[in-house]
Amino acid sequence: MKKLNPAKPSGTHKTRLPELEDEVVVKFLKILENIRSEEMSCEEMYSHLDEFVEREVRLHDASKVMPLIREHLDLCPECCDEYDALLNVLEKASN
Ligand SMILES: [Zn+2]
């Protein structure tokens, strides 16, 4: 039962929108989330890549600890190549 039309303005200020508020907050949080992940630049990624790969090799929880890096790697093939290369080097070094 969605009410698409908010209450008609009855000549006063819109002070009663209790149902809408939660929705707005959730949308706002989602927008923030998107901005955050899109804002990670390749440069920024590189500055954490060593750490990320090292953690992945040693503890296998890098994706959990640094989800934004993981996300960027999924979205950016160039960084993903870089990650693979570094991962190879570290894995060989740790054997
Ligand atoms: Zn990138």
Distance 10 CA to ligand 1 centre (A): 51
Question: 59 C-alpha vs ligand 1 centroid, how far in Å?
Answer: 23
pLDDT in tens, 40-63: 889 999 999 999 999 999 999 999
Q: Report the separation in Å between the CA atom of 67 and the middle of ligand 1, taken as the mean of its atom positions.
A: 14
Total Cβ atoms within 10 A of residue 82: 17
pTM summary value: 0.58
- Residue 68 CA to ligand 1 center (angstroms) comes to 11
For the chain, give every domain's residue range. 39-94
Q: What is the pLDDT of residues 21-42, one digit of tens each?
A: 788 878 877 766 665 545 688 9
Cα(78) to centroid(ligand 1), Å: 6
Distance CA 56, CA 66 (A): 10
Give the pLDDT score at 40. Answer: 81
> How many other CB atoms are found less than 10 A from the CB of residue 68?
15
